[in-house]
Amino acid sequence: MSSPATEERLGAGRYIENAAIPTGTITSVHELETVDGAKVNGVLRTRTDTRTVVSLMHPRQDLTHHVLVPELLARGFSVWTQGTRSTNNDLTLIHEQALLDVAAGQVFLRDHGFDHRVTLGHSGGATLFAFYHEQAGLAPEARLQSAPSGRSVDLSSADMPVPDAAVFMAPHPGQGALLRRLIDPSVADEADPLSVVSELDPFSPANGFAPPGESSTYTTDFIARYRTAQAERIARIDAEAKARVALADEARTRFKASSDSADRRASLAPRVLTVYRTDADLRFVDLSLDPNERPYGSLFGRRPDLTNYGLVGFARLVTPEAWMSTWSANTTNADFMRCAPGVEAPTLFVELTGDAACFPSDANSMVAALGANDVEHRRVAGTHFGGPIRPSAPTGASLAAAEIGGWLDERFPA
């Protein structure tokens, strides 16, 4: 019998043993400068005479040791793993700025002499790359000039090479769209993490919640009220974020007019938002909703009724500008469905059948929205992070790697 710790790892599926990097791999570390002067880092692993490179990025995570790196290298492809300026930092993530980070990496790889550049977006990296494909494919003057908060982010002046292909593995529909269905609408007071509107509490037996580990059953009426209330909570936080951005803008305007140091301090004050309880998608505990092979629980563990109240979670601390760019479904540009028509390169979409972030209905809609003429949708057994569906089963990452490697071989033979 597995230990509780082992069961928790299998439940969340976050910790997967990597294969060894193949002998003969050449590894180099590079610091790049973006068009707006930021510094980002990347690791290039190459194989002899390989002309195709696969890029792995995530807007806020370090993917240097992603489980697919050795798998792709073993299949004869070079691999580029790169961070953004917001790696391991949700607080200030502006997706429009992250596109400038992606662009710096794509320019580096193009100038390095690779014949083919392929983006591989896993989880939140999928929407980052979909957003990049969409903006890179536009004429420079048609690209975004600012983030949703009004902050200037000049994409038109950036060199944004269009990649030759796109791979999406377990892609969720974007951090804003994801949060819209994760956020707990029963928070009664944004300043009190324990405040509860009882009739909206997803973890109350009175509303259909079963003992932890046993699939719950929510009525269609509760589900409708819950989803409406989720949208309403997002809108309330939107209003607060916009108000805080306006305060900073007003202070900057006053400072420019008077050079008063108090106004300068006011313009710099971050006015950080604290967003409690964001691990409460009903589908985590009611496995009859949008059914697939996912285990009970969320991306963070087997007990959403507890992790929902914990420190670790999406958008817990965030600046108003980052909320508007990344976490609000109402204002973000980084939404997979919005960006997908602009992904026109050959595309492989790999759905994990035990995913708790990209559900079957999501996958079907996302694939249908892609703008490429060459699109393949494949399904493999695995959890969101590439873990196995059950102990002793093959990992989803290894099954996905076989599909990705075969698909790439057909288009870009080593």
Q: Mind listing the pLDDT tens digit for each residue in 271-304?
A: 899 999 999 999 999 999 999 999 999 999 999 9
Task: Give tens-digit pLDDT for 211-231.
Answer: 999 999 999 999 999 999 999
Domain finish residue from 270, 299, 322: 322
Residues 185 and 102 in one domain: no
Q: Is 22 exposed, middle or buried (0-12, 13-18, 19+ CB in 10 A)?
A: middle
Residues 300 and 391 in one domain: no
Give the torsion sign (CA, 101, 18, 291, 179): negative
Q: Is 20 exposed, middle or buried (0-12, 13-18, 19+ CB in 10 A)?
A: exposed
Domain finish residue from 294, 322, 350: 322
Residues 54 and 199 in one domain: no
In a domain, 257, yes or no: yes
Specify the 3-state DSSP secondary structure of 79: strand
Describe the crossing of helices 220-258 and 175-182 by its angle, rounded to 10 degrees.
Answer: 130
Residues 170 and 187 in one domain: no
Residues 189 and 157 in one domain: no
In a domain, 328, yes or no: no
Question: What predicted TM-score, i.e. pTM, was given to this entire model?
Answer: 0.93
Residues 259 and 374 in one domain: no
In a domain, 327, yes or no: no
Residues 84 and 157 in one domain: yes
Domain finish residue from 298, 322, 346: 322
Describe the crossing of helices 124-136 and 95-111 by its angle, rounded to 10 degrees.
Answer: 70
Q: Is the pLDDT of residue 189 over 90?
A: yes
Is 402:72 a contact under the CB 8 Å cutoff?
Answer: no
Give the chain's domain count. 2
Query: CA-CA distance, 52 to 237, in Å (whole number)?
Result: 44
Q: How far is CA 139 from the centre of its chain?
A: 26
Name the least confident of 87-101, 227-241, 259-273, 374-388: 259-273
Residues 164 and 238 in one domain: no
Query: CA-CA distance, 60 to 45, in Å (whole number)?
Result: 21
Residues 211 and 264 in one domain: yes
Buried-state track 355-390, b at ≥16 Cβ within 10 A, e below 16: bbbbbeebbeebbebbbbeebebebbbbbbbbbbbe
Cα 349–Cα 354–Cα 359 angle in degrees, nearest 5? 60
Mean of the pLDDT values across residues 227-246? 97
Query: CA-CA distance, 23 to 93, in Å (whole number)?
Result: 36
State the residue range of the domain holding 20.
4-174+333-411
